[in-house]
Amino acid sequence: MLRIKLVTALSMAIAVFTLLPGVASAWAPAGTAKVHPGVQTFTEGAQCTSNFVFQEGSTVFIGQAAHCSGTGGQTETDGCTSGSLPIGTPVEVSGASRKGTLAYNSWLTMQAAGEKDPDTCAYNDLALVRLDPADVGSVNPSVPGYGGPTGVGTVGDLGSTVFSYGNSELRGGIAKLSPKQGTVIQNEGGGWSHIVVTLTPGVPGDSGSGFMNEAGQAIGVLSTLQLAPLAGTNGAGDIGREITYARAHGFPNLQLVPGTQAFKPDLVGAILGA
C-alpha cells in the first residue's frame, strides 16, 4: 500500500447548532465559511485534504492524516518507524488567514509511547492542526455537499455505503469531482482500517479526507492507495479508534464537532450543489 499525500510542483521546484466553549460566537454559516472539512492543507509543500473539525475546550483543530507531515517515501507506511516533521510545524490551511500549527500526530505519539501493536502502528494515521484563534470565526464543521457529520460511528457490514469529499490539486479545482460515494469491501488490521471502493478513487492529495457512513457518522480517514484486493481502492483508518488513541495520549477531552447542516446521503445532490 502507498500513502497518497501530494507534494506540489512548487515544493518540488523549491446536525446541531453548536457553540464552542470559550468562544464568543457560533460557527460561521456553512455557505460562506472559509474553513471547513475538505479544505486543502499544505505541510512544507505536501498537499492533503482535511477531514473533520475537532475541538478540545476552546481550541479548534482541523484534522489531516498523520502521514501528511511524513518525511520519508510514500512506501513508508508504518507509523511507529516512519519519520515526521515535529509538533509545532506550521501548516497552511486553505481559507484561513493565518497558518495553523501541527498539534498532534499519531505517528510521533506512537513512537514516543513505544507502541508495539503492529496493526496500530500500520493504520493509526491521524493528525490535528490547531487553527489560529483569528480564524475560528471563519470555521463551519459541515462537510460540503453532504452535510454532517452527525457524530462518530462504525463502518457496519461489508457492502455498506460510504461518502467522502476529496480535494486533491490533481482535480484542477473542479469542485464537482470532489464528492464521492462508495462501498466497504474489506476490513483489515483487526478493525483499524477499512478498504473502500468509490466511483472515483482517492488520488494523491486526497489523503486525510474523511469518510461517513449512511447515517452521516464519521467513520474513517483516507490513508492509503491500495493495490490489493483491487487496484484503485483506498484504505481508510478507523477514526473512532484514532480519536480514542489521541484521548489516551494527551488530548483527553478531544471531540469531533458535528456539522450544522443536516446530512443528506445523496451523491447527485452533492455534485450538483458543489
Residue ranges of the domains in the chain?
A: 2-15+36-138
Distances (CA, A) of 136 to 54, 96, 106: 12, 9, 24
Packing angle of the helix pair 106-113, 239-248 (nearest 10 deg): 50
Look at residue 225 in the predicted model and tell me its pLDDT: 74
Q: Mean per-residue pLDDT for 202-214?
A: 89
Distances (CA, A) of 109 to 98, 213, 218: 26, 28, 22
Q: What is the pLDDT of residues 175-193, one digit of tens each?
A: 787 899 999 999 999 999 9
For residues 239 and 243, what is the distance between their CA atoms, to the nearest angstrom?
6
The residue type of 26 is A
Q: What is the pLDDT of residues 113-162, one digit of tens each?
A: 999 999 999 999 999 999 999 999 999 999 999 999 999 999 989 999 99
Q: Is 242 left (phi over 0), alpha (psi -120 to 50) or beta?
A: alpha
Q: What is the pTM of this model?
A: 0.89
Burial of 134 (0-12, 13-18, 19+ CB in 10 A): exposed
The Cα angle at residue 243 between residues 120 and 214, in degrees rounded to 5: 100
Q: Is 12 helix (H, G, I), strand (E, B) or coil?
A: helix
Q: What is the pLDDT of residues 87-105, one digit of tens each?
A: 999 999 999 999 999 999 9
Read off the C-alpha cell for 114.
513505544
Look at residue 72 in the predicted model and tell me its pLDDT: 82
